[in-house]
A and B are shown apart, each in its own frame.
Chain A
Amino acid sequence: MDDVDRSRTPDASGAPVGRRVVLGLVGLGAAGVVGGASFSRRLSEWLAPVELRDPTGLIATLPLGPAFRFYSVTGVVEPRDEASYRLEVGGLVAEPATYGLADLRALPQTEFTSDFHCVTGWVVPGVHWVGVPLSELLDRARPAASATAVRFRSFDGTYTESLGLEDARAARTIVALEMLDGPVSHDHGGPVRMYVDGQYGYKSTKWLSAIELTEDEVPGYWEHRGYDVDGTIRG
C-alpha cells in the first residue's frame, strides 16, 4: 500500500484520537506513579469492609493495594512441620545449637506491628509479628570475637541472606513464629522465618533453616543479582 489519498479515505480523516488516547494513558500512568501510593492506601481502606464480606474472594485477587506477593526463588518448597522443622545456629560460636519449634516457642518472645516493604514497591501496612529476638539466640550461642556478621539459610536449599552484627542484634530483628495473627504459614515462609524491621523484604529470609556467624558479611541471593547488601528502607 503506497501513497494513500487522505482526502478520499474516510478513516484517514478526522481527529487524531489514537494519539490522544496514548498520551492520555501515559499522563494517567505518570500521575499514578506519583500519587498511586496514597491513592491505593485510601482505596484499600475504603474497600476493606467490602472485601471481608466478599463471598467470591475475587476482590482479594485484584491489585487494590496492600497484599503480599509470594516469592520463591526455587521450585516447590517442601513444607516442614512440628516434627520435621529444625533451626541450626552455628559458625563462629562457642555453643552451637539446634532448635525445634517447641524450643523456639519456649524462648522469650517479642511482638510489634510494622509495615512490610518490598524493594520493588509493594507494601503491606500494619503487619503484626511475634517471634524470638535474634539477639536472644546469639547470646545463647556466644559468638566468637572474630564474628562480625550473621548468615541465614533457607530450607528451600538456595536462598541466603546476611546481616551485620549490629542489625542482627536490633530489638526488631526477630526469628518470627507468628505473623498476621497466626502461625507463619508455609506460603509466608513458615513455620519459621526471619523478619528484619526497617529493611526491605529480601533481607527477611523465608523458610529459615540455619543461622551462622561469619567473619565477613556474605552477599546473599538477591545481592548477587543486583540488590544492595544494605537493605535499609529509605523513603
Chain B
Amino acid sequence: MGDVVATLARFTPAERWVHRVTGLLMATCLVTAFVLYYGPVSLAVGHRHAVELVHVWAGYALAAPLLLGLLSPAYRADLGLLNRFSREDWRWLRSRDRRDGSFDVGKFNAGQKLNAALTAGSVVVLVGTGTLMFWTGLVRLAWRTGATFVHDWFALALGLLVLGHLWFAMADPEARAGMRTGVVRRSWALKEHRAWVRTADGRAAPSGTARGRARRR
C-alpha cells in the first residue's frame, strides 16, 4: 500500500479494445480452423457447416476492429510506428543480445513490428483465399485448389505466429499489464523501450504530464 510507481501511458482504451476484440476473433478463427483441418477432431466435433460458418464470419469480422481502430488517432500513430523500420531495428534483429538494454528501441521493437506486418499480411491473404473457397463459383477449380493450398500454409504460419506472440506475452507480465491497463512502469519502459521513453518525455516536457504521472500499482 502506498507504493507509488512512476508509470507511462502506453495504450489508449480504443487500442486496448481493438486488441481484445481482434484477439477474441483470432482465437475463434484458429480453434475452428483446427476443427475443420485436423481429421480426428473434425469427425469428433462434426457439424461441419456450423463450424464453417463460425470460422468464415469470424474471419470477416476481423476486419471490423482493425478498421474501426482507424478512428483513433493513437491507433493510427502506432500503425505508423509499426510500419517504419529504422537502421537500429535491423541491428536489433541481427543482434544476439538484443534484450540487454543497449539498443535504442522505440515504442515497438523490431520483433513486434515484424509480427504486426506478418499478421496483417496473413489476415489479408487468409480472408482472400477463404473467400474463394467459400463462394465456390468465383474462380475455376485449379485456383480453388491453389487457394486451399495457400490458406492451409498461411493458417499454419499465422497459428505459429500467434503462439509466439502469446509466448512472449506470457514471459513479460509488464507488457501484458500495458495492454490490460494501458500503463506501464517507467523502469520497465526504460529497459525495453528506452527511445520511446525519451520521446514521451520530450513531448510531455512542456506541460509536464507524462513525466510526473504516477499511479498506484
Q: Which residues of A are interface residues toward B (Cβ below 8 A)?
A: 1-2, 4-6, 8-19, 21-26, 28-30, 32-40, 61-63, 65, 68-77, 117, 119-123, 187, 222, 225, 227, 233-235
Contact = CB atoms under 8 A, between A and B. Distances in A.
Nearest to B133: A120
Contacts of A71: 42, 48
B149 A65 contact: yes
B107 A33 contact: no
Contacts of B80: 4, 6, 12
A120 B12 CA distance: 41
Interface stretch (B20-28, B137-145, B164-172): B137-145
Interface string B75-115: 00110111111111100000000000000111110000110
Interface string B131-161: 0111010011111111111101110100000
A34 B146 contact: yes
A16 B145 contact: no
A25 B121 contact: yes
A37 B124 contact: no
Interface of B: 9, 12, 36-40, 42-49, 73-74, 77-78, 80-89, 104-108, 113-114, 116-118, 120-122, 124-125, 128-129, 132-134, 136, 139-150, 152-154, 156, 195-196, 199, 202-203
Report whether over half of chain B's contact residues are helix, strand or loop; otherwise say mixed. helix
Contacts of A32: 129, 146-147, 149-150, 153
Contact of B88 (A6, A8, A10): A10
A1 B190 CA distance: 19
Contacts of B196: 11
A16 B86 CA distance: 9
Nearest to A25: B121
A1 to B, nearest CB: 4
Contacts of A235: 140-142
B39 A14 contact: no
A29 B42 contact: no
Contacts of B73: 1-2
Nearest to B196: A11
